[in-house]
Amino acid sequence: MASSSTTSRSTSAGSSSSTARSAALIERARSVTPGGVNSPVRAFRAVGGTPRFIASAEGPWLTDVDGNRYVDLICSWGPMILGHRHPSVLSAVTEAAGKGFSFGTPSENEVALASEIVDRVEPLEQVRLVSSGTEATMSALRLARGATGRSKVVKFAGCYHGHVDALLASAGSGLATFALPDSAGVPDSSAGETIVLPYNDVAAVEAAFAEHGDEIACVITEASPGNMGVVPPEPGLTEALRRITRAHGALLISDEVMTGFRCSASGWYGLEGPYDGGAPDLFTFGKVMGGGFPAAAFGGRADLMGHLAPDGPVYQAGTLSGNPVATAAGLATLKGCTPEVYARLDTVAHSIADAAHTELSAAGVPHTIQWAGSMFSVFFREGAVRTYDDAKSQDTAAFSRFFNAMLDQGVHLPPSAYEAWFVSASHNDDAVEAVLQALPAAARAASETHGSL
Ligand SMILES: *Cc1c(COP(=O)(O)O)cnc(C)c1O
């Protein structure tokens, strides 16, 4: 229930709050860094306004350099599943750092983290640790090509797998479109081996394999897409991908960088698997498993992973791979992901999503909320979103007004209409209440010029 004490207690960013220091910092940043940011979405281009420079964070709260406090619904795009500066992760990191930062030799934390991941996700026999989700998918792709001796890869429009050359292609409608690169600097020779298909469309996959079946190394898919907003696979899709790839001697890669250890203790696989026709061949992980530090992984059956150097001919390496501090953070985070944590994520997500639905409905704003476990996103359009084209038909202007009204009231959503709203187990009743209090005005802001744009 709304209580005025919650509002007055939190020093949330109100309309009178200052963003002077953030504004000065982004100005300075622009002179030394392209766009002033080290990852494009942080620049607020889609929503307008001043990106907030965060000075510190605790639990569900962010504090910016001007002293404004926000409920964090980005959670570093997923990793902060336990909340910021969780005591057990902080002490694991402090202890590890006290023993040295990086050795360039094997160290024990790597074994412990790899074991924790292998134990949680049943089809995994081995994992290799890397430093980012991009590295994980890039390496899985190379492994698939090396193991099959084939070069083409199938991906789905709207699925993001990091900024790997071959996977940046997402355009293309119709059946088996040979994609044009989405990014400048990606040569046709890279993207030309990528077949982009519409998501949730088994017939398109069948057709692509009918034409190119013996040239396709793998199909890579987000286990349950979260990078076009949350668009879960329709029942039977994963099994169909398994059946088709197996029939043609291609591999199936399930990208769980976002869903891994978030949707459930064993990721999306834990919710949807095991599959009658068998598990995906390779999995990729990142985000949660690094606990906020650069750690990611890819893995699968031992026979397949055996193609990697030093056992096999597929080269893959990293100076900081398995970094002792990052692996300590990841391990402490995964150990902290108890059944109670998943139950709390569920409660928090449903409280916020239900209230968003109520307030957007009351304000007459067309919207759809979609789920993958406790991961959800709000699309500013009516009707189920099954494909990237559906997702792109949102009213992004309405989202921008909504985003800025939330930000002004002290709630920091991801600055894009195509993202999940990330919650943590540290989102306590105060934090949830602050979100609920901000929703009515934000919903009204979203509705303001609806239909007149
Ligand atoms: C975030 C993400 C990646 C890329 O991970 P980075 O650590 O940003 O390189 C890859 N795949 C999916 C599904 C992701 O959500």
Q: Give the sign of the dihedral formed by CA 279, CA 284, CA 287, CA 293.
A: positive
- DSSP label at residue 376: E
**Can you tell me whether residue 140 is helix, strand or coil?**
helix
φ, ψ (nearest 5 deg) of residue 226: -130, -5
Q: Are residues 228 and 346 in the same domain?
A: no
Closest CA to 153 of 57, 220, 68: 220
In the set 70, 72, 152, 160, the catalytic residue is: 160
Q: Are both 180 and 320 inside the same structural domain?
A: yes
- The yes-or-no verdict on residue 25 having pLDDT over 50 is yes
CA 439 to each of CA 136, 192, 361, 363, 434: distance values in angstroms, whole numbers, following the listed order: 37, 45, 11, 10, 9
Give the domain extent around 302: 87-336
Active site residue 255: yes
Say whether pLDDT at 282 is over 80: yes
Residue 199 is a catalytic residue: no
Q: Which atom of ligand 1 is nearest to the CA of 223?
A: 13
Residue nearest to atom 6 of ligand 1 (CA): 133
State how far Cα 382 lies from the chain centre: 23
Residue 9: which pLDDT band, with cuts at 50, 70 and 90? very low
Residue finishing a domain among 336, 361, 387:
336
Identify whether 269 is part of a domain. yes
- Find the 17 Cα to ligand 1 centroid distance in Å: 34
Q: Does 98 lie in the same domain as 25?
A: no
Residue 204 CA to chain centroid, in angstroms?
A: 25
Q: Are residues 92 and 237 in the same domain?
A: yes
Percent of the chain with pLDDT over 70: 93
- Kindly state whether residues 180 and 200 are assigned to the same domain: yes
Ligand 1 mutation pick, 227, 418, 419, max ligand atoms within 8 A of CB:
227
Q: How far is the CA of 433 from the centre of ligand 1 (A)?
A: 30
Query: Looking at residue 120, which CATH number applies to its domain?
Result: 3.40.640.10
Query: Do both 387 and 242 map to the same domain?
Result: no
Same domain assignment for residues 328 and 395: no
Residue in 287, 388, 395, 408 annotated catalytic: 287
Q: Pick the catalytic residue: 255, 281, 390, 395?
A: 255
Distance 77 CA to ligand 1 centre (A): 9
Residues 216 and 364 in one domain: no
39 inside domain: no
Q: What is the number of structural domains in the chain?
A: 2
- Within this chain, do residues 117 and 265 fall inside the same structural domain, yes or no? yes
- Residues 390 and 325 grouped into a single domain: no
Instruction: In whole angstroms, give the CA distance from residue 175 to residue 195.
Output: 9
Hey, CA dihedral for 20, 48, 40, 374, is it positive or negative? Answer: positive
287 assigned to active site? yes
pLDDT at 174 over 60: no
CATH of the domain at 438: 3.90.1150.10
Domain boundary among 307, 336, 365: 336
Residues 189 and 325 in one domain: yes
Considering the domain boundaries, does residue 159 fall inside one? Answer: yes
Predicted local distance difference test score (pLDDT) of residue 4: 39
In a domain, 8, yes or no: no
Between the CA of residue 286 and those of 23, 83, 421, what are the distances in Å?
A: 31, 17, 18
What amino acid occupies position 253?
I
Quickly state the pLDDT bin for 188 (edges 50, 70, 90): confident
Choosing from 336, 356, 385, the residue where a domain stops is 336
Atom of ligand 1 nearest to the CA of 294: 7
Q: Does a structural domain hold residue 45?
A: no
If asked whether residues 433 and 400 sit together in one domain, one would say yes
Atom of ligand 1 minimally distant from the CA of 39 = 8
Tell me the per-residue pLDDT of 109-133, one tens digit each, with 9 for 90 and over: 999 999 999 999 999 999 999 999 9
For residue 453, is it within any domain? no
How many Å apart are CA 165 and CA 277, to the nearest integer? 31
